Amino acid sequence: MPTVTARLALMGEKLTPVEHALVEVKEGVVKRIEEAPDAVRDPDHDVLLPAPFDPHVHSADWAFRHAGLGKTLRDVVAPPDGLKHRLMRETPERELEASIASFLRVAKRFGCIGVADFREGGVKGVRIGLSAADAVENITYIPMGRPTRPDPEVVEEELKLLADVTEYVGLPDVHLPDDVLEAIRDSGLRIYVHANEDPSSVKRCLNGYGTTEVERAIELLDPEGLIHLTVLTERDVDALLSSDVDVIVACPRSNSYFGVGEPDFNTLKRLPQRLLLGTDNGMTMEPDPFEEARYAWLRGLPPSRALRAITVDPASVFRLPTLEGGELFGALALDGIDLPWETERREVLCAHVLQAVKWADVRVYVGDSTWRATGS
């Protein structure tokens, strides 16, 4: 696979349109990308774009599809005795591992090259996820583990063990003692935490600690990323503007499923943080990043920003294969589609891609490997 060509490619951080695109790949790495009308007379593909990645999932929940239908978010996911946690305790590890592997294969069918997975169950839970991912070819699997007991001494020991298997912590909430959160902050691991997902949980935080969940996370955890932010007050916006938080991951379809509201994309898109889109709970949502992006677009996120939120922006956060010079090649190719009437306008092109992927013939490239996906 020395070169891949396309009638049109969306390149770089801003998804800039390039016609007659030629991508030179050597040993799985992108060596050169250029517009080459003389060389690209019979292109391999209609459209080439960076490969999608799902930056927030709970993969093990796939074993219990729609078990929480009609129940509240807290009843389903709140630790330690929410429905999903009870089901996980009752399910043999081999079944959980098989379910995670099934989830990852479905993600690949949607053209997804990987996921960032909030793994319950401490170090053992992370190892189950890693073992499942080993059974699935060409998938980037990023586990985010969590301690199992809210005791600062136990947490410190668990964090040391977690550091042997992952560089990430993924916390379900900030409703833990201050010294526990501070121990997690001081662990040296990259921290992601759910915050401001459920209005009732935000109210509980205000009553218990005098802060919102976003404020408490920033104050005590200094996280790299915050997940959800379905509820966003002016206090939260001010805190985010002055914080070192780098990433926000919104999951609007899952939020809507549980009836807790939807993120305010008109506000989120104005914040300085990188905005990503994740599919969240495998019990409720299939791992289809394009469906998440289309959903966000129809709720206020510009098409190019929505497409970036599942491609180049997660690639920059997690150092993933992408369509960029000097990086491991990671791309999605679409065939059997017409180009829109105005190829110079990026928003038109991105909107067209977000829709056309549903009926296109889809091929995924990662390094020197390639496979067909089913679209979205």
pLDDT tens digit sequence for 229-241 = 999 999 999 999 9
* Winning range, highest mean pLDDT, from 13-22, 68-77, 303-312: 303-312
Q: 3-class SS at 27?
A: coil
50: phi then psi, degrees, rounded to nearest 5: -60, 150
Residue 277's pLDDT is 98
Give the pLDDT score at 344.
65
> Residue 226: what are its φ and ψ, rounded to 5°?
-115, 140
Domain boundaries, the chain: 3-51+321-373, 54-318
Query: What is the model's pLDDT at position 40?
Result: 78
CATH class, domain 3-51+321-373, is mainly beta
Residue 150 CA: distances (Å) to CA of 6, 119, 185, 275, 357: 53, 17, 14, 30, 44
Contacts of 38 (CB under 8 A, 6+ apart): none
Q: Is pLDDT above 70 for 36? A: yes
Rounded-to-5 percentages of helix, strand, coil across the chain: 35, 25, 40
54-318 has which fold? TIM Barrel (3.20.20)
pLDDT at 211: 97
| pLDDT tier at 33, thresholds 50, 70, 90 | very high
- 282-324 pLDDT, tens per residue? 999 999 999 999 999 999 999 999 999 999 999 999 999 999 9
Q: What is the CA radius of gyration of the chain?
A: 21
At 1 the pLDDT is: 63
pLDDT band at 41 (very low <50, low <70, confident <90, very high): confident
Q: Helix 178-185 vs helix 152-162: angle between axes, to the nearest 10 degrees?
A: 20
Whether the Cβ atoms of residue 18 and residue 35 lie closer than 8 Å to each other: yes
Report whether pLDDT(37) > 90.
no
Lowest mean pLDDT among 123-127, 147-151, 206-210, 217-221: 147-151
Per-residue model confidence (pLDDT) at position 243? 98
pLDDT at 122: 95
pLDDT of 150 above 90: no
Instruction: Copy the structure tokens of residue 30.
Output: 């992108």
Q: Mind giving me the DSSP string for 150-197? A: --HHHHHHHHHHHTTT-SEEEES-S-S-HHHHHHHHTT-SEEEEEES-
pLDDT in tens, 313-343: 999 999 999 999 999 999 999 999 988 766 6
Structure tokens at 13: 């951080």
Name the β-bridge partners of 331: 50, 365
Share of the chain above pLDDT 90, in %: 89
